[in-house]
Every structure is written in C-alpha cells, then in structure tokens.
Amino acid sequence: MNQLAERGLHYLFLLFSAVLGVAVAVVSVWADGSTGSDKRLWAGIAGVSAFGVVLITHLERRLVENAKKRAEERAIRAEADMAMLYSSTLRPLSEMVKALTALYATAAPLPSSAPAQTVADLQHKRKEVLDRVLAGAVSLTAPPIGPAFIPRARCSFYLYEAATGGFTLAGTFPGHRQPRAVIDPVGAAHMKNAILAGGGKPFRIDGEHEKHSYLIPVGTGYEAVIAVPVIHGTREIGVLAVDAPSFSDFIDPHVTLMESLANTLAASYALE
C-alpha cells in the first residue's frame, strides 16, 4: 500500500512539473510582445512557474532518497531477523547432531587399523563439511553486494596442535585475501587462553570492548572478527573465525550462528 501511494505521489509530482514547465514556455511566448505592467505580470507568472518546477524536482528527489533509506533499513532488519532465525534454528540442531556423533564415536570407535581407503573417505567428507562451513559463514554474516558481488567476509579454520600449542590454517574462504598461515606464539597463546580454554567461549572484535585480533593481519581490509571454539568432548580441535570489513557488519545473532557452524565442524572431527 505504501509503495502504491509513493508511486502515485511520484506521478503527481511528474504531472505538476510538466504542467509548470509548459506554463513557463507558454508564458515566455505570450509575454514576448508585452510591455509595462503586463510584461511584469507575465514575468512574475513565469518566475513562479519556474520556481515550482525546481521545488517539485527537489521534493521528488527527497522522496526518492527517503524511499531508498527506508528500503536499506528494511533490508538491514530483514538480514538481522534472518540471522536470528538461523541462529535459533541451527544451534539446537547442531548441538543434537554433535551429541549424536559423539555418542556414536564412543559406542563404535574406528579400529586403530582402519583401512586406508576408509580413512581417506572420512578425510574427504570432513573436507567437504569444512568447505560448506566456511562458505556458509561468509554468506550468512556479511554477504556479497553488487555490482561485482565479491565476498565481503572471510572465514578461516585453524587446527590446534596440542603438542606445540600452535595453530595452523586448515582452510579459508574466499581465497583472494589469505589469512595468516600460522599464528605467531603471542597470538596462539591468546587464542588458546581466550577462546579454547575452559570448555571454550566466543571472542568478538566489535570496536568497543575489543579492538584488535591476532587473527587479522594488518592491511587486509578487515577490522571485525568473530572467533568461536571447535571442541569435541574434551578435545580442543581448533578455532573457527569469520572476518568482516567493518564492525557494523556483525550483529549478536551472528555469534550464535558461528557457534552452530562450529558444532557441525566439531561433529565431523569426532569420527576419526
């Protein structure tokens, strides 16, 4: 209904603008041979008509700008609502899948001498899950925008090596802005203590409470990050992190969304 009213107002402005434009042309012709007070009268009418054209054009431009702003606000709200819906739906489901996988892995663990082909098949399927998780995080947090539709976000997964306390990059999406291949010792200690320790907790760089992350190399064009632990039982598998160009790209439901994706990833690592 609002769109119909705005369209009607647009056509009304267009009609008035056309009428006044024609009035300016007609008055200029009629006033061409006039003199004295008549000429001043026609000149005044032409001036008022021209001013009306300018005013209507300005009002229509403001109308278009306001409509564009409202459309952007609706899109932002819709994106936030969708993220919240994904979070509320995916998190309980991912936790159930993770628990089921853990139960199955405990009840029927793989033999230590599993066939090489079985191990290779599991690794291949786990890689497929990781690729879907990385691409899904990018699409659901800071999706691409036109006209080029280049992904704005970047998602990376770092495997934790308990023996060394280090983190090694296991996968990233997209590939045109590579993250750190190996986290330096200071950053690794931060990730271990702030994200994996104590059963794990999310870590978010929002520009207010936290402003810096060891996950983001300087000069990459990213400033915001959400990093969540990937844990199976008591096993600390790694850290899943999504980066975005600006702090405003992330909202609170995105944290829950990333935790849901981390649960899915952890379930895939339980079967090994």
Summarised one tens digit per residue, pLDDT across range 235-271 is 999 999 999 988 888 888 899 899 999 999 999 988 7
The confidence score (pLDDT) of residue 29 equals 46
Summarised one tens digit per residue, pLDDT across range 145-187 is 777 778 889 999 999 999 999 999 999 998 777 888 888 898 8
Select from 151, 167, 181 the least CA-distant residue to 243.
151
For residue 220, pLDDT over 60 is answered with: yes
Euclidean distance between CA atoms 93 and 87, whole angstroms: 10
129-146 mean pLDDT: 88
Residue written as tokens 């000149």? 43
The confidence score (pLDDT) of residue 226 equals 95
In Å, what is the CA distance from 219 to each residue of 133, 151, 227? 25, 17, 19
Summarised one tens digit per residue, pLDDT across range 1-54 is 455 555 565 556 555 555 555 555 555 545 555 555 665 665 566 556 666 666
Its pTM surpasses 0.75: no
| Residue range 110-270 in CATH 3.40.50.300 | no
| Positive/negative CA dihedral, 173, 179, 183, 188 | negative
Edge-to-edge strand order for the sheet containing 154-161? 166-173, 154-161, 235-244, 224-232, 203-205
Euclidean distance between CA atoms 53 and 16, whole angstroms: 8
Summarised one tens digit per residue, pLDDT across range 89-118 is 777 778 888 888 888 778 877 787 888 888
The confidence score (pLDDT) of residue 159 equals 96
The residues spanned by each domain of the chain are 2-71, 110-270
- What are residue 229's DSSP bridge partners? 239
Counting other chains too, the contacts that 208-217 makes at CB distance below 8 Å and 24 or more residues apart are: 208/247, 214/183, 214/184, 214/186, 214/187, 214/190, 215/156, 215/179, 215/180, 215/183, 215/187, 215/191, 215/239, 215/241, 215/243, 216/179, 216/243, 217/179, 217/180
